[in-house]
Amino acid sequence: MPLKSFHHIALIVSDYDKSKKFYTEILGFNILAENYRAECKSYKLDLTGPGGMRLELFSFPDSPKRPSRPESCGLRHLAFQVEDIEIEISRLSELGIIFEPIRVDEYTKKRFTFFADPDGLPLELYEE
* pLDDT, tens only, 74-98: 778 899 999 999 999 999 999 999 9
pLDDT at 72 over 80: no
How confident is the model at residue 68, as a pLDDT? 67
What is the sign, positive or negative, of the torsion defined by CA atoms of 66, 68, 70, 76?
Answer: positive
3-state secondary structure 15-50: CHHHHHHHHHHHCCCEEEEEEEEHHHCEEEEEEECH
| Predicted model pTM | 0.87
pLDDT class for 69, splitting at 50, 70, 90?
low
Look up the domain containing 121 and give its range: 75-128
Q: Verify cis geometry, omega within 30 degrees of 0, for the bond prior to 50.
A: no
pLDDT class for 36, splitting at 50, 70, 90?
very high
Question: For residue 1, what is the domain's CATH number?
Answer: 3.10.180.10
pLDDT class for 5, splitting at 50, 70, 90?
confident
Measured CA to CA, the distance from residue 11 to residue 65 in angstroms comes to: 12
The total of structural domains in the chain comes to 2
How many C-beta neighbours within 10 Å does residue 17 have?
11
pLDDT in tens, 40-65: 889 999 999 988 899 999 998 888 77
- The most distant pair of C-alpha atoms in the chain lies apart, rounded to whole Å, by 49
pLDDT class for 73, splitting at 50, 70, 90?
confident
118: nearest Cα among 43, 16, 37: 16
pLDDT class for 66, splitting at 50, 70, 90?
confident
Q: Tell me: do 58 and 4 sit in the same domain.
A: yes
Query: What's the mean pLDDT in 106-121?
Result: 94
Amino acid at the residue 115: F
Q: Tell me: do 55 and 95 sit in the same domain.
A: no
Q: Tell me: do 9 and 47 sit in the same domain.
A: yes
